Homo-oligomer: A and B are copies of this chain.
């Protein structure tokens, strides 16, 4: 095996993308490359303390900046882009969460339109301790405080959409984007169907941790130092983003209402499982029905996202994508040993 290229990508403020699609690549890399990159938080770093209200310090549509796009040489529509997360490390010792007017699962929004005044806009600042692996929640009213485990992840990972569309980075969909699932952590490989030459990968929206559903609309948002390995499978584009961890096959679906996000993710997992195990469609439906997990990813974004998970131990010796996840794990391990 040749040594992989190692590319460093640190955007300047003007480099950030706020859409998937509609932009030329910042850089083009070869399949197999390792990319060391940095990401800004979803507020563009403008919210630094509890007095910084997002609706005042952020300017729509300059929200949720994404690092990229990165073109992958040779990627063509119909191919499959694999993105393996080697490391995701908070770049600051603090993170921010907030409510935001008309955004979140338990509030009226611009589409779930109601006559209520917005909920209070409130900011929480978390202390992040990377060494201890914790972040600290402090109530704004009263003095309650508690440590939560760090579980760094990226909310936004995706490629240029199909049909020439350009979508805001806060929208999750068939192209990936703002899936906001805690499964997108180090050790996971994400697979995206390619719709534009070069695929045009973007990564952003780091979360020090996130509950399932991202109920209030934001996670513990922070800047990240992240390393990924990218690789290319010719053909085989999945209709919706897939993830693979050491233990699970994971399908995603992003739509409204939430049952459609569920249906998409389950339909894809049934199809994927059936293809891997040589099961007919109903047998795969049955197996996934009894063995699968189905947590919410986000129930706050412009589409909602559900994930569908199957334990890989059910696969026996069968490997998805011919074992690519294991090979990317090995590449990652070698990189971490030798840097």
Contacts and interface: CB of A to CB of B under 8 A. Distances in A.
Interface of A: 18-19, 21-22, 60-61, 97, 99, 105-108, 110-117, 119-120, 122, 124, 137, 139-142, 144, 146, 148, 162-168, 209-220, 239, 253, 255-260, 262-264, 266-268, 270, 277-283, 285-296, 299, 304, 306, 308, 314, 316
The complex is assembled from copies of this chain, and their number is: 4
A32 B25 CA distance: 41
Contacts of A112: 112, 260, 263
Query: For the complex, would chain A's binding face be called helix, strand, loop or mixed by DSSP majority?
Result: loop
A256 B257 contact: yes
Contacts of A264: 110-111, 113
A61 B258 contact: no
Contacts of A293: 211-212, 295
A278 B168 contact: no
B164 A22 contact: yes
Please name the 7 residue pairs, one residue from A and one from B, whose CB atoms are nearest each other, closest first: A61-B163, A257-B257, A258-B258, A113-B267, A212-B294, A166-B166, A216-B289
A122 B148 CA distance: 44
Given A60-B163, A142-B279, A266 B213 contact: yes
